[in-house]
Structure 1
């Protein structure tokens, strides 16, 4: 019997159940019934992953309190809808997962320096996660590099972290070997290469066989999305000149897109049968 990751096991709900709920909304639920779903239908769908209704209610209530959702009542039923903030998060995440640009490089680096007061330690950690998600690499404790011009995104960060003092420089080295040394210092591409190769080995074998249908297609699609997201958010998507030899990022991306396409119809049909609503094309 095939083993699914911990996300799909019996309660108590693991920490990554949040990612499961986000993937269900990001892939299906926000495209059905104008982005609204009744709590009962949502609980039915989570039961497909062997998550008990009582535990799911607790988690969804917490996510609502954290402004993931807005809710209203219609009769005795509660209706959930993603907040505007979470819609934006899902839009950005989807763009990152489903878009890959292997472009040429102009040779310039963006250097970001920041200072955050010690009393705002949590903000410092959140900013570091945001920088990693945006493709920056950590050169020193408060110095991050990107091989792309990131003025717009840095302005957004300045608005999101007003407590941080930021400075930005554009710079370049004198030769490509120095750039390659910067890459090796800022990103652990050896480990990422290994993880990409494991992804390709696992999902290539799946692609060569008969794919599941119904509930199995949904579970496989969500698992595929979760594995891809974990790799994508660690991948700085470097320009071609800075990529290691035989870099597997593009191969893994194309494999993901092919499998996602093949699983989309049976997985979506299963979701529609559970929630009783049509999922439109995104």
Structure 2
């Protein structure tokens, strides 16, 4: 895990519930749990402040790092995407985005592709992306700031369920994603029971909880949360999510007690 990713996960999983801020000394102690030294902590936090992720203020001789509005938005979006996975019945309709951008507007086009992937769209053709989710309004808002990129938004149906499954297989690497989910399920199944996890020492529980978040949060960027009608038989994604949430919740108590102890100890 990279230090800046650990910082984001610490704030997203714990420190946001303690006012979204922490003293440098407390952050240093928490990052030591992950083997990150003081000098690296200072460099990473200073760089993230320059990038606009943190505001700082002085309290006596101590520097306090506080989340900016931009950071709050990122953490809110990430938490929703990680924990609120979609399992609603599908209405059988595809939402299609057809876009066009001049070659000189490549940056806008690439930004749109990233946005579409985040919203659960997949590339059916080079400039045609589809999703089973009703998120065309989000696409409209996303392209509002890029007038050079023209889009057509459609709602349509395929010839039938066989065609639907074939389209899903073309748009997303479901075989590769399923294999990675299965490996993650095996990793989670090897953990102690939720009751045992809840009894772990605080520092160990914190490290394990952040490690699990770090490992799992890559999936929502790759998984469009397809309805069951479009997924291969025996899809392991939902089992992975269930096991992840159970372990994450079990580790919450000892991990957050440890974070609270560190914050309290470093407060004059």
- Structure-2-length-normalised TM-score: 0.91
**Structure 1 segments (4+ residues) deviating >6 Å:** none
Q: Which is further off, 102-111 or 163-172?
A: 163-172
Q: How many residues align?
A: 262
How is 1:147-226 mapped onto 2 (pairs within 5 angstroms)?
Answer: 147-208=132-193, 210-211=196-197, 212-226=200-214
Q: Deviations over 1:74-102 (max 9, x none)?
A: 23222111111211111111111111222
Q: In the TM superposition, what is the alpha-carbon distance from 1:233 to its structure 2 partner?
A: 2.1
2: CA distance, partners of 1:47 / 1:157: 39
Q: In the TM superposition, what is the alpha-carbon distance from 1:165 to its structure 2 partner?
A: 2.3
Q: In the TM superposition, what is the alpha-carbon distance from 1:28 to its structure 2 partner?
A: 0.7
1:12 corresponds to which residue?
none
1:27 corresponds to which residue?
13
Q: In the alignment, is the contact (CA less than 8 A) between 1:45 and 1:275 conserved in 2? A: no
Q: Which is further off, 99-108 or 160-169?
A: 160-169
Counterpart among 208, 216, 227 of residue 228 in structure 1: 216
- Structure-1-length-normalised TM-score: 0.87
Q: In the TM superposition, what is the alpha-carbon distance from 1:213 to its structure 2 partner?
A: 2.2
Q: In the alignment, is the contact (CA less than 8 A) between 2:3 and 2:41 conserved in 1? A: no
Q: Quick check: 1:261 aligned with 2:253?
A: no
Q: Deviations over 1:108-165 (max 9, x none)?
A: 1111122344344344333322222221111222221101211331123123544432
Name the SS of the counterpart of 2:22 in structure 1: strand
2:114 corresponds to which residue?
129
User: 1:143 and 1:207, CA in 2 relative to 1: closer, same or farther beyond 3 A?
Assistant: farther
Unaligned runs of 5+ in 1: 1-6, 8-15, 278-282
Aligned Cα root-mean-square deviation (Å)? 1.8
Q: Which is further off, 188-197 or 138-147?
A: 138-147
User: 1:25 and 1:123, CA in 2 relative to 1: closer, same or farther beyond 3 A?
Assistant: farther
1: CA distance, partners of 2:3 / 2:109: 25
Unaligned runs of 5+ in 2: none
Q: Deviations over 1:168-226 (max 9, x none)?
A: 11111121111111101000010111111101111111044843322111111001111
1:49 corresponds to which residue?
34
